[in-house]
Structure 1
Amino acid sequence: MGNFTGFGPATLDFLAELGDNNNRDWFQANKARYDEFVLEPALDFIVAVGDGLPTISKHLVAMPKRSGGSLMRVYRDTRFSRDKTPYKTNIGIQFRHEQGKDVHAPGLYFHLDNRECFLGVGMWHPERDALAAIRTAIVDNGATWKRARDAKAFRDVFELDGASLVRPPRGFPRDHRYITDLMRKDFIGILRMPPERAASPGLADEVLGMFAASKGFMRFLCRALGLPF
């Protein structure tokens, strides 16, 4: 591991074919292709990004493991879903905060499928207490939040995304200066790219540079939750 050369056309071809043949028989017959074109380059990518993560924060973790690490499982949890197809048709990689137990902690995310590639930073669907803490931090430290949210380096790369409430949360006036942000249910920045961009051997360095643009945004969220950054 550690010699990342890009996610080439064979990776996108495999993901597209998996989408058309999402069943156990096909996957087992093509397991060697999964290992060669998805698993191994994903682990190499995690190593390459991990080498540079301390320049963003020493508290973010890259774990190049086949299971239980930064690479998210290919197997779908179908227990409560009408969609019973067994496999995810994308590569999902998370670089979590060292104190986070899952993707709901502040972190960095890379997604690739045959239709799109995107980066995500921040928190998606934070739990109730975490969401309340972020809202309180915005109210108490509005100027700091505004600097993090509107920093040119951040906004040149990422677009704020995610779900919002249809009306102000309880306890916050409708005319609050930051009511649009206080109504957010997600605090995430997204950068969308064509999937072909992932074929670049320099992708890890490019992604690190983009992730670095989110430092102020990530720092605010971590401090709101009492986490070091």
Structure 2
Amino acid sequence: MSIAVPKSALDFFKKLQKNNNREWFTEHKPEFKAIEAEVKTVYNELYNRLNAHDEVDKLKIFRIYRDVRFSKDKTPFKTHYGGSFHRKKPELRGGYYLHIQPNNESFIATGFWQPNKDDLFRIRKEFEMDASEMRDIMSDANFKATWGALEGEEVKTAPKGFSKEHENIDLIKKKMYIFTRKFSDKEVLAPDFVDTVEESFKAIRPFFDYMSDVLTTNLNGESML
């Protein structure tokens, strides 16, 4: 039997978007918990599948409650499911994320979101020295068809200590290195959605393998583990 995202999950969040208050949620919390249990089977299925060809040591499914302390938006609840899959560190780098939200706002994301300063500096130095392998990965036809172009915030010109005239400045000036793939509600509810997500995550592996090699070695290629 295939495991699929239930339509009730998207329907519930559509209602919550219109009734994002504690009174309404408290009244409908049993409904939410029942749906949440079904959705968790999707995340757990992906976790198990990823571990058949990767090493994922942790699945974190985020809670529905929003932290509103420093936000102008004071609505108390998220209107989406989010879950991240952590690869076994320090030898394996990169991570997977699945975001389920109605109105065609679902997506998957992979890569390096806000890497620490040491990792970011090491990546930039690698690209300063040679970015040919990274460009080969990004230009692969299957990779591009699945993930599109590299995304992520970047500095305006060049990071301190790097030349803004460098041939690889488009990669060096990135502050994060992420890829995303969006899904319509119809695609999310399709019986093969988990298959599609798994295949997409498989397609990112050349990028992860390359970055893992970079982040576990020095510029001479010597292991730092």
Residue equivalent to 2:135: 146
Q: 1:26 pairs with 13, 24, 27, which one?
A: 24
Q: Distance in 1 between matches of 2:119 and 2:15?
A: 39
Bigger-Rg structure (1/2):
2
Q: Distance in 2 between matches of 1:61 and 1:214?
A: 18
Instruction: Output aligned runs, 1:120-199, within 5 Å.
Output: 120-159=109-148, 160-199=150-189
Deviation at 1:72, TM superposition (A): 1.2
CA shift digits 1:184-229 (9 cap, x unpaired): 122001111112211122221211001111001112222332299x
Distance 1:163 1:21, change over 3 A: same
Unaligned 5+ runs, structure 2: 218-222
Aligned-partner residue type, residue 145 of structure 1: M
Q: Distance in 1 between matches of 2:65 and 2:2?
A: 24
Deviation at 1:24, TM superposition (A): 1.4
- Aligned residues: CA RMSD: 2.1
Q: 3-state SS of the aligned residue for 1:161?
A: coil
Aligned-partner residue type, residue 38 of structure 2: P
Q: 3-state SS of the aligned residue for 1:30?
A: helix
Runs (4+) of structure 1 moved beyond 4 Å?
none
Residue equivalent to 1:67: none
What is the TM-score with the length of structure 1 in the denominator? 0.85
Number of aligned pairs? 214
Deviation at 1:4, TM superposition (A): 5.8
Q: 3-state SS of the aligned residue for 2:212?
A: helix
Unaligned 5+ runs, structure 1: 64-69
Deviation at 1:138, TM superposition (A): 2.1
Q: 2:65 pairs with 75, 82, 87, which one?
A: 75
Is the contact made by 2:9 and 2:39 (CA closer than 8 Å) also made in structure 1? no
Q: Distance in 1 between matches of 2:2 and 2:58?
A: 15
Aligned-partner residue type, residue 18 of structure 2: D
1:202 pairs with 2:198 = no
Q: Distance in 2 between matches of 1:141 and 1:220?
A: 13
Q: Which moved more, 1:195-204 or 1:108-117?
A: 195-204
Is the contact made by 2:109 and 2:179 (CA closer than 8 Å) also made in structure 1? yes
Q: 3-state SS of the aligned residue for 2:181?
A: strand
Q: 3-state SS of the aligned residue for 2:98?
A: strand
Residue equivalent to 1:66: none
Distance 1:55 1:172, change over 3 A: farther
Deviation at 1:41, TM superposition (A): 2.3
Q: 3-state SS of the aligned residue for 1:110?
A: strand
Q: Distance in 2 between matches of 1:99 and 1:13?
A: 37
Instruction: Output aligned runs, 1:5-154, within 5 Å.
Output: 5-37=3-35, 39-58=36-55, 60-63=56-59, 70-99=60-89, 106-115=94-103, 116-154=105-143
Q: Distance in 1 between matches of 2:111 and 2:53?
A: 13
Q: Distance in 2 between matches of 1:133 and 1:42?
A: 38
What is the TM-score with the length of structure 2 in the denominator? 0.86
Q: Which moved more, 1:140-149 or 1:113-122?
A: 140-149
Q: Distance in 1 between matches of 2:121 and 2:108?
A: 25
Distance 1:55 1:182, change over 3 A: farther
Deviation at 1:141, TM superposition (A): 4.0
Aligned-partner residue type, residue 17 of structure 1: K
Q: Which moved more, 1:147-156 or 1:72-81?
A: 147-156
